[in-house]
Amino acid sequence: MLVITQNENMRAILARISTIAASDSSVLLIGETGVGKELFADHIHRSSPRSDKPFVKIALSAMPHDLLESELFGHEKGAFTNATNEKKGLFELAHTGTLFLDDIDDVPQSIQTKLLRVLESREVMRVGGIATIPIDVRLITASKVDLKELVSRNLFRADLFYRINVFPVEIPALRDRREDIPILVRHFLERFAPGKKLAVTPEAQRAFVNYSWPGNVRELRNITQRIALFAEAEIRMKDLPPELHNGNPIDLLVKACSQCLVDDSLSFNQIVTCLETNLLRQAMKEAGGNRTQAARVLGLNLSTLRDKLKKYDLENGSRD
């Protein structure tokens, strides 16, 4: 897997990672959902002296909290109901190699405490165990939100944050490196339809570049894969999904608020309410209901966005 880019900021990040990879220090990857944090973690591992050792990864947000301790640290036989055999945890499986913990911001505080203890002692004790097991692991973590904000709200341990934040790497959103979009489209077309040699019309190319990509590279990959399956010879506007036809979000906002902007009977506060409600709806739609992404698009603190969604009763289906 390669990191494909011609963006200067991304190239600078890759150059920095080459230096970071040579060390054993912990790395914190920061970026929106879908920017490719797992790809960067894999790149760091492959560029490190541990490249021939295990690379173990887990998406913490997908793991039920009641199973997380056993998954990370392992358990002994009989430690709890259904523990019919002993099990090695991910730290043991990653011994001498690299452990990638994605969505570290989703770890409950009870597990944060035990995780910190393991990182400080470099030993792990299985659930139900009485003996510690030495581990030698290079840790890479990833977060889709600013952990400093979670620390300030007492939702993430400050000492754990400092332990994993030795080398922070911020990965830019796809909309902030639009020059990469055409080469990524070409890469995915060749990957998913190698025999078709598909071309992209200039109009379709502009639609790709102008779209805000709230789901980032993951969304681009999935849409390109779907298009490649059905397209013949040339990709035109008719081949693109509806969201790529919708144009500039500001234009959509103006259209949505066309009535309140020209209605003389509305008060200033009513017009502001109309504008703000539609802007929030548009941002949440583009972010797929993800409040963290919507807050970034709007330039708001996550707590401010939550308050506004509650104020206008727009919380249904939203998530951090």
pLDDT tens sequence for the chain (320 residues): 678 999 999 999 999 998 999 999 999 999 999 999 999 999 999 999 999 999 999 999 888 888 898 899 988 876 676 766 888 999 999 999 999 999 999 999 989 999 999 999 999 988 888 889 999 999 999 999 889 999 999 999 999 999 999 999 999 999 899 999 999 999 999 999 998 889 999 999 999 998 888 889 999 999 999 999 888 889 999 999 888 876 555 555 655 566 676 666 777 788 888 888 888 887 787 777 888 878 877 777 888 888 889 888 888 777 77
What is the C-alpha separation between 241 and 229, in angstroms, rounded? 13
CA-angle at 4, arms to 104 and 96, nearest 5°: 45
What is the C-alpha separation between 169 and 36, in angstroms, rounded? 12
- Bridge-based pairing of strands 27-30 and 74-75 is unpaired
Query: What ranges make up the beta strands (E) of 158-246?
Result: 167-170, 199-200, 234-235
CATH of domain 175-245: 1.10.8.60
pLDDT of residue 290: 84
Phi, psi of 212 (to 5 degrees): -80, -15
- Locus of tokens 């299985």: 126
pLDDT in tens, 184-242: 999 999 999 998 889 999 999 999 998 888 889 999 999 999 999 888 889 999 999 88
What is the C-alpha separation between 37 and 102, in angstroms, rounded? 8
pLDDT of residue 81: 67
pLDDT of residue 320: 73
pLDDT of residue 233: 86
pLDDT of residue 312: 87
Handedness of CA 175, 180, 183, 187 (dihedral sign): negative
Handedness of CA 244, 248, 250, 255 (dihedral sign): negative
What is the C-alpha separation between 213 and 215, in angstroms, rounded? 5
The CA–CA distances, whole Å, from 198 to 155, 224, 231, 317 equal: 48, 11, 8, 37
Handedness of CA 50, 56, 59, 60 (dihedral sign): negative
Q: Are 280 and 309 in contact (CB under 8 A)?
A: yes
CATH of domain 8-172: 3.40.50.300
Per-residue tokens: 97: 């190699």
Q: Give the alpha-carbon dihedral of 225, 229, 231, 235, to 10 degrees.
A: 10
pLDDT of residue 123: 95
Domain boundaries, the chain: 8-172, 175-245, 249-311
Residue spans of alpha helices (H) in 58-176? 65-73, 90-93, 109-121, 147-152, 158-164
Closest CA to 75 of 87, 64, 84: 87
CATH of domain 249-311: 1.10.10
